[in-house]
């Protein structure tokens, strides 16, 4: 991966990110680590809300932090999550987060890494998770 950032490092960053998740309603804690093509990592966690719908997923937190600081080119995102922060199963991105990825990422090359620990992970492309996705190209 870019600039020596490897999968294990990205997984560690996502696990670190999860520590700040704010989840008083679901107790389902999620962390994400988004890698730019320049090799910078933006972390994100889910942030819930008493009114429920304003809740922001970990992946979108990472993307919005990155884009709001000028990053536009992304290589991969790692996502970890579980009830009470216990990482037993993969946490795939929700449909809304997939659509946000579609806005900024090449679906063929952008990698989505789902992990439970450094040794247990799987890697998918955005195209695999969002086939026939609608993106900026459709408006050209
Ligand atoms: N969640 C994420 O942060 N990312 C996902 O892609 C799946 C769902 C969060 C939202 C909410 O805080 C909790 O997990 C339960 O849905």
Higher pLDDT, 1 or 30: 30
- At 1 the pLDDT is 60
Residue nearest to atom 14 of ligand 1 (CA): 28
Residue nearest to atom 6 of ligand 1 (CA): 93
Residue 27 has pLDDT above 70, yes or no: yes
Tell whether pTM > 0.85. yes
Say if CB 11 and CB 117 are below 8 A apart: yes
Does residue 48's CB lie within 6 angstroms of at least one atom of ligand 1? yes
Q: Which secondary structure element, helix H or strand E, spans residue 76, and what is its range?
A: strand 74-83
Which atom of ligand 1 is nearest the CA belonging to 96?
Answer: 6
| Active-site entry in 59, 73, 88, 140 | 59
């Amino acid at each position: 991966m870019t600039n020596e950032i490897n999968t294990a490092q990205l997984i560690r960053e996502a696990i670190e990110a999860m520590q700040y998740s704010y989840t008083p309603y679901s107790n389902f804690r999620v962390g994400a680590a988004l890698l730019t093509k320049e090799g910078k990592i933006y972390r994100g966690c889910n942030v819930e809300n008493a009114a429920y719908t304003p809740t922001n997923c970990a992946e979108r937190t990472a993307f919005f932090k990155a884009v709001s600081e000028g990053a536009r080119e992304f290589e991969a995102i790692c996502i970890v999550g579980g009830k009470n922060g216990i990482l037993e199963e993969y946490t795939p991105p929700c449909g809304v987060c997939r659509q946000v990825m579609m806005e900024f990422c090449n679906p063929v090359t952008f990698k989505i890494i789902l992990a439970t620990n450094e040794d247990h992970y799987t890697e998918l492309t955005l195209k695999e998770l969002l086939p026939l996705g609608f993106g900026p190209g459709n408006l050209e």
